[in-house]
Amino acid sequence: MSVLPLVFTSGWASGINAYAVVLLLGVFGKAGLTDEVPESLQRTDVLVAAGILFLCEAVADKIPYVDSLWDTVHTVIRPVAGAVIGALLAGQSGSLSDLAAGAVGGTTALASHCVKAGTRMAINTSPEPFSNIAMSTAEDLGVGTIMTFAMFNPEAAAIIAAVLLALGLALLVYLWSRIRRFLRRRAQRREERRLAAAEAKAPERTGSPPG
């Protein structure tokens, strides 16, 4: 499949920022820079929705702990988006090649999403917010640069995306101890909130009986 390198790259990028991928592909297709983008991704309503959601993600992704909550919500959204984009890029005939492209896009998006979410958990063990802003900005620029490059040289872009994915997975293993620390802190905060809520309800149950 000649479109497979673009499918792989878009899947990798979707795992980081699916809305940016939809927006970029739609703009590239509408501008006539590529014939690979289907009409469904070039629709004005799709581009407007993708643009609004991209702005929401650009803000949420730079706030400590909010970024991890956003990643949790998108654990399903990003892989599904990667699969749908992959299938649309391959065609809309429902053939085996379309399904294979969807599987490639979805699997790659899931892997890169795990790298993104895990890295953010590790970063959130640090009290300062600047690393979140720097990482989010680097991710946005990386997605934009590689997706743009993929329009003109999809094979080379796919190789770069594969290398970045492999490095990200290796980094995830290296940061595993910090990720576990983040998960323990989050569980502790939930337990503290549960105990506080239980203590607040206790006086209501043991209030003085009417005279």
What span, in angstroms and rounded, lies between the C-alpha atoms of 184 and 167?
A: 26
Tokens of 208: 């003085």
Give the CA dihedral 159, 163, 165, 171, nearest 10 degrees.
180
Spatial contact of 142 and 126, defined as CB atoms under 8 Å apart: no
> What pLDDT digit, counting tens, does each position of 90-100 carry?
875 556 777 88
First-to-final CA distance of the chain: 83
Beta strand residue intervals within 110-210, DSSP E = none
> What pLDDT digit, counting tens, does each position of 135-193 carry?
999 999 999 999 999 999 999 999 999 999 999 999 888 888 777 777 777 777 777 77
Confidence bin at 206 (pLDDT 50/70/90): low
Task: Examine the pLDDT at 211 and tell me if it is beyond 50.
Answer: no
Q: In one letter, which amino acid is 85?
A: I
Tokens of 61: 């992704």
Residue appearing with tokens 């940061």: 175
133 phi, psi to nearest 5 deg = -65, -45
> What pLDDT digit, counting tens, does each position of 38-77 carry?
898 999 999 999 999 999 999 999 998 899 899 999 999 9
Spatial contact of 154 and 9, defined as CB atoms under 8 Å apart: yes
115: closest CA among 197, 11, 192? 11
Confidence bin at 124 (pLDDT 50/70/90): confident
